Amino acid sequence: MVSHQSAAVLHGLPTWGLDLSRIHVTRPAKRTRSDKITTVHRSPIGAEEITQVDDIRVTSPARSIVETACTTSYEVGVVLADAALHLELTTPDELIAAADRHKHWPGSPRAKAAALFADGLSESVGESRTRVLMANAGIPAPRLQVEIRDQDGRLIGRVDFLLFGNRIVEFDGAQKYGADAHTVIAEKWREDRLRALGYEMVRVGWADLNHPCTTAARIAGDHT
């Protein structure tokens, strides 16, 4: 049965941080053998942990995420769990139950931690990684996907994160605005209106995630 990151890919989850050079499968048999392209894991699989994607038998989204987090990293686990919740492929309770069910696996503490931290309001790999960065730095948990309106109740925008009541943190992917000049101008107008209402703006990009201490200090500002 397809499992681990191979199952996660079939479920349509992000591939960030995953080694996709091999196919991962799980079998309950006592004797298993890997080959040049396949890694075979040995583990019992409950009926509730089996599903199908395009007629291929795979481990459920929750188990796939737990398996992958156990063999990769906490951050990868959060990225996968956030995406699965956002896509409504699983629920927080299912993620936690899957982690608890396999609490004796090597790496299970990070899988459980990722399940507990996961938030379906996170809408991208970058947002999930930014959440991890802030939490690792001890920054208070932000509100996600907050709608901000002006004094007349008109919507100005929905922001990725809101901290300390007035600090907006936005993750900017490389292609977020594209090459459309109208889109760029609209975003500039949106940011100007937010600042006029007293909000501070901090933008985070992919490169910033490689410098967590510097980026966290910039996000926290005078709240450090």
pLDDT at 31: 67
208 pLDDT higher than 80: yes
CB 110 within 8 A of CB 78: no
pLDDT recorded at residue 13: 98
Beta bridge partners of 41: 26
Region 83-102: mean pLDDT is: 98
| Contacts of the segment 41-47: beta carbons below 8 A, 24+ positions apart | 41/3, 41/4, 41/67, 45/1, 46/101
pLDDT in tens, 107-124: 999 999 999 999 999 999
The pLDDT assigned to 187 comes to 80
Maximum distance among all Cα pairs of the chain, rounded to whole angstroms: 68
| pLDDT on residue 174 | 58
**What average pLDDT is seen over the chain?**
92
Question: Can you give the pTM of this predicted structure?
Answer: 0.92
Q: Comparing 35 with 190, which gets the higher pLDDT?
A: 190
Domains defined along the chain, listed by start: 4-120 (no CATH), 128-223 (3.40.960.10)
Q: How confident is the model at residue 132 (pLDDT cuts 50, 70, 90)?
A: very high
Q: Is the pLDDT of residue 96 over 70?
A: yes
What mean pLDDT do residues 127-142 have? Answer: 97
Taking residues 201-215, report their average pLDDT. 96
CA distance 9 to 15: 7
Closest CA to 99 of 132, 67, 131: 67
Q: What percent of the chain has pLDDT above 70?
A: 94
pLDDT in tens, 59-82: 999 999 999 999 999 999 999 999
> Which tens digit of pLDDT belongs to each residue from 192-202?
899 999 999 99
